[in-house]
Structure 1
Amino acid sequence: MQSHRLLRPIWPSLTVRVPLPSASTFRPLRFDPRFRPFSQTHCRHWPHPPRGPRNYDPHYQLSQAQPLITSGRLRKIVRSPSTHTVIVLSVLGAVAFYFSNIQTVPVSGRRRFNCFSDETVEATSDAQVKRIIYEVERSGARFLDDWDPRMAMVKRVMKRLIPVSGMENAKWEITVIDDPRTVNAFVLPGGKVFVFSGLLPIARNEHGLATVLGHEIAHNLAGHVAERMSGQIGTNILLYSLIFLTGGLAILGTQFFGGWALDLLFSRPMGRMQESEADYIGLMMMAEACYDPQQALGFWQRMERAQQGEPPEWLSTHPSNFNRIQKIGEWMPKALEKRQESDCQGTSAFADLFRQAMVRGVRIE
């Protein structure tokens, strides 16, 4: 058997030693994300949030949030010419709207702002009627039936006052609430009459009751509800203007103190003027309906005794009973003269005169 010789490989002798780079010169290969052979666009570098437990803490993230309204932004808005244009146009529009809705109250001759129609006010009072009925039923009080003598008394007085009110076409609804603890009565726009039984002992008779109901009807005849609604527009504009000027930083304080100050300076004095006008109109109406106007003095004197501890007049929306009695005493000669001139047939002479003067914007004495 032939033996084979082991051949020694020749490549070890051909081995070339290549020196390896040192650690300082070694640079590992990195992929360049900007180079993408199959794309014609460059890669976008999206910022990555730093990792850490704070990224998952909502309180920390909320503390790092930027405010929507800053002093710099407010200064930029205030100095902007667009803001100046908007303010000037708004002021001019408000002034034009105000003077286009000015009326003269015939009794006092004062100028007032009223932008609501009678139809709008009556639609608003419908919701108020439902609320009153709901509150009365919830309190456990009841409504008197037609056969009740107290209901019959109220209906007799209204039967004589409605013809002289100039509002014969209204849908009159008379409701008497059996609540001896409440001394109150009011007439909502549209002819909704509410009388609490606690008022009747102070009224004593139909003359005293005519004093109250004539006063409440006069509020509707003079459009005082619409005037109060219109006044709230101006009050809200002033209030929110104060909030804007403070940058919204003092919104709670502005709403509380600003609203209280505006109410004290505007709403309550206007309420006292309206009450005084209603006293005069109601006195003339009850005299035209042949009720004794002198008994109005007795009614308000009894009301003064019943309302002991009333607040000062400047804090109230109503004049004090003392000042009210003095005013009625000054108007009494004219009221007695009107009663003598009335034919007691239920004509609406004074109401018609009042409405004509309201349209013409003149004053009647």
Structure 2
Amino acid sequence: MNSLRNSLQGLFRFAPVARTAGSKATTRHISHIQRRFVSYQRFPERGGSRPNSGQYSNFAPFARVQYIWRNYKTIVIVTGAGGGTFYVVNLEEVPVTGRRRFNIVSPENEKALVSDSAYQQTLQEFRGRILPKEHPYTQLVARIVTRLLPSAHGLDGGDWQVHVIDDPNNVNAFVMPGGKVFVFTGIIPIAQDENGLAAVLGHEIAHNVCHHVGERLSRQVFTIAAALLISSVFDISGQIGNSIADLTLTLPNGRTQESEADHIGLLMMAEACYDPRRAPGLWKRMGEFEKRKGGAPPQFLSTHPSSGTRGEAMEKWMPQAMEKYNESECSITARGFNEFRKIADVGRRMPGTMSVLTGGRASREDEDWPF
């Protein structure tokens, strides 16, 4: 990421605009431009005293734009045309939703950028808190991932690894490109049951289906360019320009990606025979949790839509999800599964019954069922 930013800064010959020291150099550049706005006395037009049209605006930002246009018109046109062509050529369609987006990072490069060292670093960070493979939570997450992957549009191959981190205070889960799944135990009570956890994992896997990491890296080109332009035109520090670019470009795109992952994740869980009608309840519980913790930031300042917005969106997508659910004959499967669970619950209270229901096999998994 830093190398991309440094390359673009060199291209534009500006000082860094990242959230680091760089505003002084940017100010020096702006001052240099300002010095070149030479005040001059214009000759009156013949037959009157009206100044000619070369007058710069009294509003400084407009004056700077006028100066750049008049002195660097060819560069601006060539750069704009080249950038527009580059943007259009690299547009692609997101799987399932069909959204058109700019992306120059291939899935292979995406995996390479999120290297194995990042995975090892994450394992090292949470060393001692990762639950063993035989733990019921780990087995539960692995089972859900296994059911979701056939609906993951080409991601069912590869080396998928599931890790559950024992941290009740961390309400989160994420999936690295390449299939490295991390779930924190803090989200399990909010998920409430296997359907809720399938909604969470479907969302995280959907980010990989859409290659959102590559899209975010690709958009950095325009975010940095916008920050440089804003800082130059309005004569403000690079940090402020970067914040404005984030507010107007990065955060809205982040909310679009999160909503898209919700949509695709809902369809994935429905296709995998998890009940999609349980997904909106997850976001209702998440909203209640956020209120207990002091509330979430305003939506326009966040990379994620609010929990209420996400729940409402899922209700709108529900007919499409239920169509997937019924096409897979999941309702029949679910009824059979629920009936088995009722009998199994009775079996726990009646010694010897479970051995009959399981054909004489051990019922350890059922006894350790976490919910």
Q: TM-score range by the shorter chain?
A: 0.5 to 0.7
Q: CA offsets, 1:135-155, max 9 Å, x none?
A: 324xxx521111111111111
| d(CA) in 1 for partners of 2:81, 2:189 | 54
2:120 maps to 1:130: yes
2:162 maps to 1:174: yes
| d(CA) in 1 for partners of 2:239, 2:288 | 34
2:209 maps to 1:221: yes
Q: 1:95 to 1:156 in 2, by over 3 A?
A: same
Q: 2:89 aligns with which of 93, 97, 100?
A: 100
Q: 1:290 aligns with which of 267, 270, 273?
A: 273
Q: 1:319 aligns with which of 305, 310, 320?
A: 305
Structure 2 counterparts to residues 51-200 of structure 1, below 5 A: 70=32, 85-105=74-94, 108-126=97-115, 127-137=117-127, 141-166=128-153, 167-200=155-188
For the residue of structure 2 that corresponds to 1:326, the secondary structure is: helix
Aligned-residue offset at 1:340: 1.2
Q: CA offsets, 1:138-177, max 9 Å, x none?
A: xxx5211111111111111111011211211232111111
| d(CA) in 1 for partners of 2:146, 2:95 | 26
Aligned-residue offset at 1:130: 3.4
Q: CA offsets, 1:217-264, max 9 Å, x none?
A: 111111211111111110111222344557xxx5xx432211111111
For the residue of structure 1 that corresponds to 2:305, the secondary structure is: coil
Aligned-residue offset at 1:289: 0.4
Q: 1:337 to 1:110 in 2, by over 3 A?
A: closer
Q: CA offsets, 1:45-80, max 9 Å, x none?
A: xxxxxxxxxxxxxxxxxxxxxx9985598579x889
Other-structure match for 1:206: 194
Q: 1:298 to 1:81 in 2, by over 3 A?
A: closer
Q: CA offsets, 1:301-360, max 9 Å, x none?
A: 11111111111211211111111111111222221221111156xxxxxxxxxxxxxxxx
Contact 1:107 1:277 (8 Å CA) reproduced:
no
Q: Which has the larger share of helix? A: 2
- TM-score by structure 1 length? 0.67
Aligned-residue offset at 1:269: 1.2
Contact 1:125 1:188 (8 Å CA) reproduced:
yes
| d(CA) in 1 for partners of 2:90, 2:68 | 33
Percent identical among aligned pairs is 44
Q: 1:112 to 1:295 in 2, by over 3 A?
A: same
Q: 1:71 to 1:105 in 2, by over 3 A?
A: closer
Which protein has the larger Cα radius of gyration, Structure 1 or Structure 2? 1
Contact 1:185 1:195 (8 Å CA) reproduced:
yes
Aligned-residue offset at 1:209: 0.8
2:319 maps to 1:333: yes
For the residue of structure 2 that corresponds to 1:142, the secondary structure is: coil
Contact 1:269 1:317 (8 Å CA) reproduced:
yes
Aligned-residue offset at 1:293: 0.8
Q: 1:164 to 1:106 in 2, by over 3 A?
A: closer
Amino acid at match of 1:219: H
Contact 1:242 1:254 (8 Å CA) reproduced:
no
| d(CA) in 2 for partners of 1:72, 1:261 | 22
Contact 2:148 2:268 (8 Å CA) reproduced:
yes
Q: 1:214 to 1:73 in 2, by over 3 A?
A: same
Q: 1:110 to 1:161 in 2, by over 3 A?
A: closer
**Which structure 1 segments of 5+ residues have no match?**
1-66, 345-365
Other-structure match for 1:15: none
Amino acid at match of 1:312: P
Other-structure match for 2:219: 231
